Amino acid sequence: MKSYTIFCFLTVWISSLFSIGFAIADEPVWDGNTVVLMSEKLAEGVYAFYPDNAHDLAPQGLPIATSGGFIIGDKGVLIIDTMLNKRLNSQVQSMIGAVTKKPILYALNTSYHGDHSYGNMYLPSDTKIIQHINAKAYIDKHFKADTEFMIKNFGAGRGIEEIVPRTGDILVPAEGKLVIDLGGKSVEVIDFGFAQTGGDLFVWEPESKVMWTGNPIIAIKPSLPWLLDGHLIETLATLNRVYDFLPPDARIVPGHGPIMGRNDIPWHIVYLRTVKQNVQKAVDQGLTLEETVEKVKMEKFKGYALFNWVHPGLNVPAAYHDLKNKK
Ligand SMILES: [Zn+2]
């Protein structure tokens, strides 16, 4: 229920974002009808995919379409994130078909967000869908509102209208971990705690030391976390756990960008920690939410194109509610 309320709140914010001319007016931040995906081989049978403009956009802090990947074992394939629409999902299936004829055994969604999960319906009927139990619960309850929200923000005529939900056959419980045996490759699926939606899964391939994070890590600096559903303190703790889990030479496929390293994660952690410290000061001084937003500017992090939306609109309020409730 809570996430639904905030989702409506988000719609208002994104609409005003467009109207103040952040992006091209009435255009989505990225267009599911034009994005072209490319794949990158990270190790034998381990591939990432991301938009072909991701390398240009990420260092500029500009919005990038969804990233994901696939892992091929002796028995078959696991897809990580199935994309927004049929067009993008078929690009994923073509990339897989270009390197293996093995069946797609599993497809995992790092969250319920449509750009990570709407493509589920286009996969073979015997592919098993893997989701966090909370992601399935969200889709079961809010699918109609979710697609309306997505059409509003990613545009009509982007293939969202035809989406029907296809939810998890295999559900990862809260704080759970799952090991998927693809044949000669064991892939770990881990819930590290609340990271953006409360139904967030991270994928770890231990042999190649590659992790898929989904949205909790959007891309390299200067991108920042989007606390759409609040919970700044828990998110900070979760990102610290993820960072501690990773070996120094791990490679990371973030939710919306090209490959990054473990050393790119502290930027996100330092940002959240700084928000927490500054908002704590404001709460201690008895400031209201509006006064806190006004005070906690953190200009150092302004390089992210969506800063004026995520920082005052989502992240500072998330910290304020967390810290206020703690008192
Ligand atoms: Zn996303």
Contacts of 104 (CB under 8 A, 6+ apart): 76, 77, 79, 93, 96, 123, 124, 127
Proportion of the chain above pLDDT 90, given as a percent:
90
- CA gap 263, 243 in Å, rounded: 9
Mean pLDDT score, 35-62: 98
Write the pLDDT tens digit of every residue in 153-202. 999 999 999 999 999 999 999 999 999 999 999 999 999 999 999 999 99
SS3 256: coil
Query: Which pLDDT score, from 0 to 100, does residue 209 have?
Result: 98
Query: Which pLDDT score, from 0 to 100, does residue 10 have?
Result: 44
**Cβ–Cβ < 8 Å for 234, 72:** no
Nearest to 266 by CA among 221, 299, 206: 221
CA of 99 to the centre of ligand 1 (A): 26
Which backbone phi and psi does 236 adopt, to 5 degrees? -60, -45
Mean pLDDT score, 39-45: 98
Nearest to 187 by CA among 70, 68, 38, 41: 70
Given a cut of 90, whether residue 33 has pLDDT beyond it is: yes
- CA gap 63, 72 in Å, rounded: 29
CA of 94 to the centre of ligand 1 (A): 21
SS3 139: helix
Contacts of 25 (CB under 8 A, 6+ apart): 18, 19
Write the pLDDT tens digit of every residue in 243-262. 999 999 999 999 999 999 99
Given a cut of 50, whether residue 21 has pLDDT beyond it is: no
The whole model's pTM is what?
0.92
Residue 327's pLDDT band (cuts 50, 70, 90):
low
CA of 282 to the centre of ligand 1 (A): 31
Write the pLDDT tens digit of every residue in 302-316. 999 999 999 999 999
Residue 263's pLDDT band (cuts 50, 70, 90):
very high
Query: Which pLDDT score, from 0 to 100, does residue 23 have?
Result: 41
- CA gap 171, 147 in Å, rounded: 22
Mean pLDDT score, 289-300: 97
- For 90, the enclosing helix (H) or strand (E) is helix 86-99
Query: Which pLDDT score, from 0 to 100, does residue 325 have?
Result: 87
CA of 14 to the centre of ligand 1 (A): 15
CA of 256 to the centre of ligand 1 (A): 6
CA of 279 to the centre of ligand 1 (A): 27
Mean pLDDT score, 97-106: 98
Looking at per-residue confidence, does 310 or 21 come out higher? 310
State the amino acid at position 249 in one-letter form. Answer: D
Write the pLDDT tens digit of every residue in 119-165. 999 999 999 999 999 999 999 999 999 999 999 999 999 999 999 99
Q: Counting Cβ atoms within 10 Å, is residue 300 exposed (0-12), middle (13-18) or buried (19+)?
A: exposed
- For 179, the enclosing helix (H) or strand (E) is strand 177-181
Rounded to the nearest integer, the mean pLDDT of the chain is 92
Given a cut of 80, whether residue 14 has pLDDT beyond it is: no
Residue 243 CA: distances (Å) to CA of 213, 221, 325: 11, 16, 27
- CA gap 140, 162 in Å, rounded: 17
Proportion of the chain above pLDDT 70, given as a percent:
91
Given a cut of 50, whether residue 25 has pLDDT beyond it is: no
Given a cut of 70, whether residue 7 has pLDDT beyond it is: no
Residue 26's pLDDT band (cuts 50, 70, 90):
low
> Which domains are seen in the chain, by residue range?
2-264 (3.60.15.10)
CA of 113 to the centre of ligand 1 (A): 6
CA of 281 to the centre of ligand 1 (A): 32
Query: Which pLDDT score, from 0 to 100, does residue 27 have?
Result: 66
Based on C-alpha coordinates, what's the Rg of the chain? 19
User: Considering only 14-28, 42-56, 63-77, which range has the smallest mean pLDDT?
Assistant: 14-28
